[in-house]
């Protein structure tokens, strides 16, 4: 039995992925024999409906001065965050007297839009290397982990916030109660806390099991977020689905009773109950679907190897750490992974030890098949590579099921 991080109730895990390394710990050859691993199991709390990792590595093992994920590697995501910022500017009528805080601003992909609109803003980003990129853009950044004590400190040196924003960060934080206490402290009476994360409903529907890795402590739904907000005298007032990261949800939270609650909130909660996200059963069949993808993908890769085909992968994503380690995909089946991120290149993927090579070498490698680990960016990537792939090279995707195209 494990204790729920939200309500302290007991729960049992519904899936066990075995021992997993840190998803973004790309290693040099000499570091390969000293890899940290943790037991990756996921459970569902029947009391508060939160889906969560049973065990999490310490935050310093994941977020530090060599953090490997830089947000601005996708042009689509740059536009997405520019649109996100514009929607907040009009929702809250922001101007040069306002104040915006972003938790986990990474390389400044979203705050750069506030900066160019001359709206005062502050980023909180504990990973020094990505924070440096944001600071080089002229953005003010505190390079610490956000929590209640830091919120208290910020409230002494800044006015309260008209908007507290966050993308793909809230689901990374096991000490989430401290974050919500911090939000309660820092948010103006008419302020909004808006965040987005991969959405549980989409993960179950698409069997996108690879959204589960060390950094993703929680898989949120409207059910679990409304419970959490309520505990902190806050309220879920809007929900807006996003297509990013394979299907995300943007949640808007305000002080309880101070803003009108959109009809979308209840509609989504009812839909979640209708598809059974509040019952154990949905999670049991999810595990079976994951194992079907495993059998199909390993079967395909093994057949291609026996036929002497060259298979490479595209995008050394965090998600691929779960895929390669749970499925047992080694350099035997996939030669290497091409990626545009310099800090990942000429290193080995966590656990599976597949070489990660610079994207600039992708085309000369002349593969027969390309396994798309960055499937969430499929539209952007397939468009970019369509001339090169032509008719004689094929993409392999595996969410929601294994497909060759
Ligand atoms: P991508 C990360 O997940 C980690 P990951 C984190 N936990 C999270 O929640 C989300 O981001 C937000 C490369 N690439 O976005 C760049 C190309 O090579 O799916 C990246 O290494 N060529 C914070 O790691 C990777 O693929 C391209 O054209 O699963 C994409 O990683 C493009 C578009 C990307 O996130
Ligand atoms: N918002 C960006 C970055 C997501 S990566 C995007 O959507 O692309 C997740 C980021 O959260 C990392 O840069 C990590 O350093 C940061 N992070 C993790 N814990 C945090 C905390 N407690 N406070 C602030 N940032 C945190």
Q: pLDDT per position in the chain (405 positions), as tens?
A: 999 999 999 999 999 999 999 999 999 999 998 899 999 999 999 999 999 999 999 999 999 999 999 999 999 999 999 999 999 999 999 999 999 999 999 999 999 999 999 999 999 999 999 999 999 999 999 999 999 999 999 999 999 999 999 999 999 999 999 999 999 999 999 999 999 999 999 999 999 999 999 999 999 999 999 999 999 999 999 999 999 999 999 999 999 999 999 999 999 999 999 999 999 998 989 999 999 999 999 999 999 999 999 999 999 999 999 999 999 999 999 999 999 999 999 999 999 999 999 999 999 999 999 999 999 999 999 999 999 999 999 999 999 999 999
* 3-state class (DSSP) for residue 156: helix
Q: Are 11 and 41 in contact (CB under 8 A)?
A: no
Q: Specify whether the backbone of 112 is left (phi greater than 0), alpha (psi in -120 to 50) or beta.
A: alpha
Backbone φ, ψ for residue 56 (5° rounding): -130, 140
Point out which residues pair with 183 in neighbouring strands: none
State in Å: Cα 340 to ligand 1 middle: 10
231, two tokens: 């505990």
DSSP 227-257: HHHHHTTEEEEEEEEE-GGGSEEEEEEEETT
User: Taking Cα atoms as reference points, which of 10, 5, 25 lies closest to residue 349?
Assistant: 25
Measured CA to CA in angstroms, residue 366 lies from 60, 304, 350, 390 at distances of 39, 15, 25, 12
State in Å: Cα 71 to ligand 2 middle: 10
Q: Which protein residue's CA is at the shortest distance from atom 21 of ligand 2?
A: 145
**Tens of pLDDT, residues 313-346:** 999 999 999 999 999 999 999 999 999 999 999 9
My answer on whether omega of the bond before 61 falls inside 30° of 0, hence cis, is no
Q: What is the DSSP letter of 50?
A: -
Point out which residues pair with 376 in neighbouring strands: none
* 3-state class (DSSP) for residue 215: coil
172 lines ligand 2 (CB under 6 A): yes
69 lines ligand 1 (CB under 6 A): yes
Q: Report d(CA 107, CA 135) in Å as an integer.
A: 8
215 lines ligand 1 (CB under 6 A): yes
394, two tokens: 């094929």
385, two tokens: 């590579």
Point out which residues pair with 187 in neighbouring strands: 161
Q: Which protein residue's CA is at the shortest distance from atom 17 of ligand 2?
A: 104
268, two tokens: 């989504």
Q: Report d(CA 329, CA 355) in Å as an integer.
A: 12
Q: Which pTM does this prediction carry?
A: 0.98
23, two tokens: 């998803």
**Tens of pLDDT, residues 344-401:** 999 999 999 999 999 999 999 999 999 999 999 999 999 999 999 999 999 999 999 9
* 3-state class (DSSP) for residue 303: helix
232, two tokens: 């902190």
Q: Report d(CA 316, CA 332) in Å as an integer.
A: 17
């Amino acid at each position: 039995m494990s204790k729920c991080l939200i309500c302290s109730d007991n729960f049992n895990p519904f899936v066990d992925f075995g021992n997993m390394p840190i998803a973004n710990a790309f290693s040099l050859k000499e570091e390969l024999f000293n890899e940290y691993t943790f037991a990756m199991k996921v459970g569902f709390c029947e009391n508060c409906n939160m889906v969560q990792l049973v065990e999490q590595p310490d935050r310093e093992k994941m977020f530090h001065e060599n953090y490997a994920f830089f947000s601005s590697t996708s042009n689509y995501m740059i536009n997405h965050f520019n649109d996100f910022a514009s929607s907040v500017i009009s929702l809250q009528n922001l101007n040069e007297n306002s104040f915006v805080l972003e938790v986990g601003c990474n390389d400044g992909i979203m705050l750069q839009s506030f900066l160019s609109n001359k709206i005062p803003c502050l980023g909180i980003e504990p990973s020094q290397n990505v924070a440096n990129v944001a600071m080089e853009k002229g953005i003010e950044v505190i390079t610490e982990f956000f929590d209640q004590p830091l919120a208290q400190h910020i409230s002494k040196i800044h006015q309260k916030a008209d908007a507290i924003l966050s993308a793909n960060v809230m689901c990374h934080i096991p000490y989430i109660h401290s974050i919500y206490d911090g939000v309660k402290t820092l948010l103006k009476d008419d302020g909004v806390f808006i965040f987005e994360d991969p959405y549980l409903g989409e993960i179950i529907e698409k069997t996108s099991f690879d959204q589960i890795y060390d950094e993703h402590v929680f898989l949120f739904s409207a059910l679990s977020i409304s419970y959490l907000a309520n505990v902190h005298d806050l309220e879920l007032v809007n929900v807006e689905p996003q297509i990013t990261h394979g299907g995300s949800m943007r949640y808007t939270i305000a002080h309880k009773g101070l803003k009108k609650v959109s009809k979308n909130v209840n509609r989504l909660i009812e839909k979640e109950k209708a598809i059974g996200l509040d019952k154990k059963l949905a999670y049991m069949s999810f595990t079976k679907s994951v194992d079907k993808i495993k059998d199909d993908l390993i079967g395909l890769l093994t057949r291609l190897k026996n036929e002497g085909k060259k298979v490479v992968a595209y995008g050394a994503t965090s998600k691929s750490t779960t895929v390669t380690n749970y499925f047992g995909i080694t350099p035997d089946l996939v030669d290497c992974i091409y990626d545009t991120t310099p800090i990942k290149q000429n290193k080995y993927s966590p656990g599976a030890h597949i070489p990660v090579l610079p994207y600039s070498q992708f085309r000369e490698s002349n593969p027969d098949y390309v396994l798309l680990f960055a499937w969430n960016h499929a539209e952007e990537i397939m468009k970019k590579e369509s001339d090169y792939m032509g008719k004689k090279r094929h993409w392999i995707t595996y969410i929601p099921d294994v497909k060759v195209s």
